[in-house]
Structure 1
Amino acid sequence: MEFLPDELLLIIFQYFNRFDLLDSFGNLNQRFQRILEPYLYEIDLTREDLSYQHFVTFYKYIAPIQGHYLRVLKLSGEHQFHLFQSLIHLFINLELLTLKSIVFFGSQEYAQLENLLTQALQIQYLSTLSLSRLDAPETIASFASSNLTSLILLNEHNFDYPHIQQPISTIKYFSLNLRQFQSTTFSSVFKILPNLEEFKLSILNYYHKSTNQHHRPNVQVPKTLNKLYLEFKHEEPLNGEILKEEFLDLFKDQIQSLTLIVYNATVEYSNLYNLLSDFTSLVTFQYDIRSLDSTFTSSSTLDLNLNHINFCENYSSFNNCTILKALNLTFHDQSTLSPDEHYFLTEFLSSLPKLDTLTVFTDDTKAVIQQLKSLFSKKSSRKMTQFYIEDLRQNDPKDHCPRHPPIYDTTLIYELSQLFPNLNTLTFPCHTKFISEYPTTLTIFLKQLQNHLPKLTHFTLKLMYRNRDTYDNYIKNLDECSWLYYTTTRCLYPDYNGSWYEAHDLHIWL
């Protein structure tokens, strides 16, 4: 390979896994190092298709030697937070750090995150910090250098942090993905981040209008703020009056650049001049406003229950879901689909070019796989990377009856490999038939998974029964497997007598 031109080497390298490539050819000589250096600029360890073995390769053999090339690093979970505490100081040129995990104050994971942040914030060139939510704010405020100017929160609930006293004064750009907007949101943001120049707010699910004008907090907009991005993605329609009174009027005296995106707008938006007439400094305005009849074109996830659809009338409501990526599909108790149901689903699934995630709610895995076989084209099925099987009652929050996992079929994994060969994520509940086949160990089953689904990296087994022996046996077996990593999640399920019992999910990283 020494005699091949650089252009041909780059073509060959496209067929290698990035970490195998860096481990095999990194530091081989100056020429290979120069060619491979860009492969180290951005490392994402949160990807669903990352195997545990490739993670270990990066952590043990690549990061300690070549970590100074990193510019962007993305981590997720306590395991990664813990391991990278001893390495983060090596990433001296790191510019963007993402830490994805919902942690709870006082927990071990919170402590791991706080320790990792303390070290990362001392990196000279770190300019952007991306978190799931604003955890360890005092740590950020205390240790952030003047170069840390951008803060991104990926999955914040309501941004309610009344206890925070020390502002994070270095932040100029703030991006907030918010599930629930409150009347106190703006005052909280500007209290913690008093020197903002650019603010991007995306409200994901819910907006609660201020009901009492006299009890709204006094919002002091930073004088430095001149660029605003507002995005409304919640299902509840947002009318122009609320938008103007609750959002736009607050910024009318100083915003120079405004971007407005509304996915569920009412008719008042036909006259944008009324919304913007009071802006005195506006120079640039960009917008994407969609009316009620185009809701589905902006959806990335859709819940579809076959029991609640009139198939003769409703297909036209769904035929524009061009950006749909995740589908939650509830099958009814019948083992076969009616002709109308089959036609609707076949046409619908074939019209989703970006669909890669499917969750099915069913009571029988064998029946549902057979149904899916008849619905997916070969082209569509190869795009599927994430597949989740759930209890039929799981998607009904009002149903407190005992859970019954879908019947496990011994051919499930083989059938899945034929149907969705490119899966990297799989989840299903543990039925008694599964326990009967694998009473004490998961090793044989996990090896079958790897053989039939070679791209699979994440598997979750939901142990819904009160069978402590099975859980203990599986944990003991997993502890003996050095080629994987696992975590557990405690879950509560309704019992026959109206009480709740504890069970566990096993999350296995292959």
Structure 2
Amino acid sequence: MITTIEYLPDEILLIICNYLSQYHIIHAFFNLNDRLNSTISQYYNSLIVDHNVYRELLPIIGSYLQSLTIKDISLKSHEISFASNIQELTFDKQHPHSIPSLVNLTDLNIINAPSTNLTDVLFLTNNNIHSIYISSQTPLTISTTKISKIKQLGVTLKSLDDCISLFSICPELTCLNLHLLDCSFKNIPKQINEPSNLQIFSLRTNYETNVDFNTIKNIFQYLPSQLEYLGIEIITLDRECVNGQTWENYLQEKFPNLIRLDFFIYLRPELPTNTETRRLPSILKTFQNDYWSSITPQHITGYYDRSYQGESISIHTEPAPIVRRRRYFLN
């Protein structure tokens, strides 16, 4: 009897695939029969186009793709259209100049974007896009009065003023993952549009920025009371930011519906260095009660960081907070 590769068990075929590139797997096995298609399905559900060789795969597997990443290469609109059923589209080091109308596209990611304002992506005509994540060294500039229907957004903004403006142009936001470069504010209007649909909010600040507890309250005052999920990653000199009782009193009053809190708080050493250092066990003890056990994933832990500047303390929820992730959803 003549033995062919089709007689091999699926497990052996997958081991063979481990030694091949996605390009060669598709050209060798795709569309030979239903069994092989099912066996290698993981290799044609997503595609990273970072070379002209992988560009050739788009007409072959485009209609089967669920996600497409375009990295270091420019694709025209009609080429992206081959991926007619994708749900997620990612541009890495590329500006999304032309995004075709894709009926199933819901998630758009722009990573390491060029130094160009990307505000226009909030107003794409692709009606089904509801989630956008933008990672860029240049903060998004909010200087428009147009209205966006985006529901989930991850973005870097320069100041709190821009955040308030964002709430005005994105009234349907349910999730905002915010990297804020400057926590001060100058021109916030007396009347603002509260993001009434917002359920999930995460805040990350720069390492150089000192965020005290009053600053936190200034930012959070513009968030709706029905917030359910909160993520925080801050650097501070303020000991109140590592006081569980202070947080508890504020959160219970401001966000009575909060069901989950993730945080990473880095307390820098105070000057002069002979100031009495608050010990980690006493800090963690302020977070040990029924309230904290009900809104944190597991438990709260921390560690010391000793340097020539003194002794810093970090406390965080465990597992590690997910503030830097592209998006997250309530369970």
Give the TM-score normalised by the residue count of structure 2.
Answer: 0.70
The answer to whether the aligner puts 1:166 opposite 2:166 as a matched pair is no
Q: Structure 2: which 5+ runs fail to align? A: 270-306, 315-331
Task: Give yes or no for contact 1:68–1:90 (8 Å, CA) kept in 2.
Answer: yes
* 2:103 counterpart residue number: 124
* 1:291 counterpart residue number: 266
Task: Give yes or no for contact 1:252–1:278 (8 Å, CA) kept in 2.
Answer: no
Q: Structure 1: which 5+ runs fail to align? A: 47-54, 104-112, 295-312, 321-510
Task: Give yes or no for contact 1:235–1:264 (8 Å, CA) kept in 2.
Answer: no
2:52 corresponds to which letter in structure 1?
V
**TM-fit CA distance, 1:142:** 5.1
Task: Give yes or no for contact 2:63–2:85 (8 Å, CA) kept in 1.
Answer: yes
Q: Deviations over 1:127-173 (max 9, x none)?
A: 0111246856557625121x2111111116332231x343222x111
SS in 1 for 2:178: strand
Task: Give yes or no for contact 2:68–2:83 (8 Å, CA) kept in 1.
Answer: no
Alpha-carbon separation, structure 2, partners of 1:139 and 1:237: 31
Alpha-carbon separation, structure 2, partners of 1:7 and 1:207: 53
Q: Deviations over 1:227-274 (max 9, x none)?
A: 2122234332211111112x1122152322222232556311113124
Which of 52, 59, 71 matches 1:56?
52
SS in 2 for 1:268: helix
SS in 1 for 2:176: strand
Which of 242, 252, 257 matches 1:282?
257
Give the alignment of 1:437-476 within 5 angstroms.
Answer: none
* 2:162 counterpart residue number: 185
The answer to whether the aligner puts 1:67 opposite 2:50 as a matched pair is no
Which of 72, 80, 89 matches 2:81?
89
Alpha-carbon separation, structure 1, partners of 2:40 and 2:34: 10
SS in 2 for 1:143: coil
Task: Give yes or no for contact 2:130–2:152 (8 Å, CA) kept in 1.
Answer: yes
1:172 corresponds to which letter in structure 2?
K
* 2:92 counterpart residue number: 100
Task: Give yes or no for contact 1:267–1:291 (8 Å, CA) kept in 2.
Answer: no
Alpha-carbon separation, structure 2, partners of 1:139 and 1:158: 14
Q: Deviations over 1:287-310 (max 9, x none)?
A: 32333359xxxxxxxxxxxxxxxx
**TM-fit CA distance, 1:195:** 0.7
Which of 227, 230, 254 matches 2:226?
254
Q: 1:283 to 1:262 in 2, by over 3 A?
A: same
**TM-fit CA distance, 1:88:** 1.6
**TM-fit CA distance, 1:64:** 0.8
Q: 1:91 to 1:228 in 2, by over 3 A?
A: same
1:26 corresponds to which letter in structure 2?
F
Which of 265, 268, 278 matches 2:240?
268
Task: Give yes or no for contact 1:158–1:182 (8 Å, CA) kept in 2.
Answer: no
Q: Larger % of helix: which?
A: 1
- Higher RCO structure (Cα 8 Å, ≥6 apart): 2
Q: 1:9 to 1:263 in 2, by over 3 A?
A: farther
SS in 2 for 1:94: coil
* 1:225 counterpart residue number: 198
Task: Give yes or no for contact 2:201–2:231 (8 Å, CA) kept in 1.
Answer: yes
* 2:298 counterpart residue number: none
Give the alignment of 1:146-157 within 5 angstroms.
Answer: 147-155=128-136, 157=138
1:207 corresponds to which letter in structure 2?
D
Give the TM-score normalised by the residue count of structure 1.
Answer: 0.47
The answer to whether the aligner puts 1:144 opposite 2:126 as a matched pair is yes
Q: Deviations over 1:443-469 (max 9, x none)?
A: xxxxxxxxxxxxxxxxxxxxxxxxxxx
Alpha-carbon separation, structure 1, partners of 2:44 and 2:311: 45
* 1:410 counterpart residue number: none
Q: 1:232 to 1:95 in 2, by over 3 A?
A: same
Task: Give yes or no for contact 1:98–1:129 (8 Å, CA) kept in 2.
Answer: yes
Identity of matched residues, %? 19
**TM-fit CA distance, 1:76:** 3.1
Alpha-carbon separation, structure 2, partners of 1:187 and 1:102: 28
Q: 1:74 to 1:152 in 2, by over 3 A?
A: same
* 2:213 counterpart residue number: 240
Q: 1:223 to 1:288 in 2, by over 3 A?
A: closer
SS in 1 for 2:265: strand
The answer to whether the aligner puts 1:14 opposite 2:18 as a matched pair is yes
Task: Give yes or no for contact 2:142–2:166 (8 Å, CA) kept in 1.
Answer: no
The answer to whether the aligner puts 1:34 opposite 2:29 as a matched pair is no
Task: Give yes or no for contact 1:253–1:279 (8 Å, CA) kept in 2.
Answer: yes
Q: 1:236 to 1:255 in 2, by over 3 A?
A: same
